[in-house]
Amino acid sequence: RAVVRTANYHDLHTYGIYRGYDGMINGDIKRIETRDVANILHRGGTILKTARSKEFRTKEGRKKAYDSLMAYDIDACIVIGGDGSFTGAKIFQEEYNIPFIGLPGTIDNDLIGTNYTIGFDTACNTAIEAIDKIRDTADSHNRLFFVEVMGRHSGYIALYTGIGSGAGTVLLPETNTSNEELASLLTKAAKRGKLFSVVVVAEGNNSGNATEVAEKVSKLLPDHETKVAVIGHLQRGGSPTSFDRMLASRLGYEAVNALMAGKGNTAI
């Protein structure tokens, strides 16, 4: 929205490329203007749709993508995505000399060069809201809950969600906590009078996902009643937080400024 509106303000033409690089390859491209992005600010997901493109990884695929861009007279691109999208943009720009600007958009917050990626704050808030609700059952029934949040390779969501929801322990892909260590931490907490616990587990945690860890740890702690909750794709949707709206608006605005200043091959 911010890209289209900033560009149109400067009398630049804007096109939407649908379904990511697949759409670029297949010419799934439409003119979009200021009014086309009305009433989307508060929505999750993407009006452009998205896809993981295998074909764009090939030279032939990128040649087709280049031909589509030329057919529409497109001379610069702004790509919103994570490291896969940025890698594709970098390779393409090197081959075809069309400036690309990247906008960091992934709930995982695992991109270098930015403190926050678009979507991360919303995902954390969704997970925290869910854990606040799970905490009620954990507390009422004195249960041990393993809550799994997203993050295949990155523990940011788990870490922020864990701290923000007051979880007893957080298990991440970036650290190594053995099941024995975890069981001992939980036993110590129980001895201090902690009657229930929430353990936040990143999907890509080193010692296994929430279900796997719960199964092993419950054998070490037979006195605890153990439950598992997987928040899953709930974190990938819904209305963005004010932080994400501001971030996306500012980044989109600066992406157009960067292109107008002759920049490319960079991320905002």
- Where does this chain bind ligand F6P (CB under 6 A)? 82, 106-108, 150-152, 203, 236
In the complex, the smallest distance separating the C-beta of residue 203 from ligand F6P, rounded to whole angstroms, is: 5
**Radius of gyration in angstroms for the set of CA atoms belonging to the chain, rounded to a whole number:** 22
Do the bridges between strand 77-81 and strand 100-104 make them parallel or antiparallel, or are there none, so unpaired? parallel
In the complex, the smallest distance separating the C-beta of residue 76 from ligand F6P, rounded to whole angstroms, is: 26
> In the structure encoding, which two tokens stand for residue 241, read together?
């937080």
Q: Which is nearer to ligand F6P, 108 or 244 (CB)?
A: 108
In the complex, the smallest distance separating the C-beta of residue 89 from ligand F6P, rounded to whole angstroms, is: 17
The C-alpha atoms of residue 64 and residue 49 are separated, in whole angstroms, by: 20
11 part of the active site: no
> Is 197 exposed, middle or buried, given 0-12, 13-18 or 19+ CB atoms closer than 10 A?
buried
Q: Which of 229, 24, 251, 21 is nearest to 137 (CA)?
A: 229
Do the bridges between strand 15-17 and strand 29-31 make them parallel or antiparallel, or are there none, so unpaired? antiparallel
Q: Which is nearer to ligand F6P, 106 or 126 (CB)?
A: 106
Q: Which is nearer to ligand F6P, 16 or 151 (CB)?
A: 151
Q: Which of 73, 75, 108, 223 is catalytic?
A: 108
In the complex, the smallest distance separating the C-beta of residue 149 from ligand F6P, rounded to whole angstroms, is: 8
The residue type at 17? I
Which segments of 166-209 does DSSP mark as H helices, in order?
Answer: 179-191
In the complex, the smallest distance separating the C-beta of residue 204 from ligand F6P, rounded to whole angstroms, is: 7
Q: Which is nearer to ligand F6P, 14 or 173 (CB)?
A: 173
Q: Which is nearer to ligand F6P, 14 or 109 (CB)?
A: 109
Helix (H) or strand (E) holding 229: strand 225-230
Number of C-beta neighbours around residue 239 at 10 A: 12
Residues serving a catalytic function are: 108
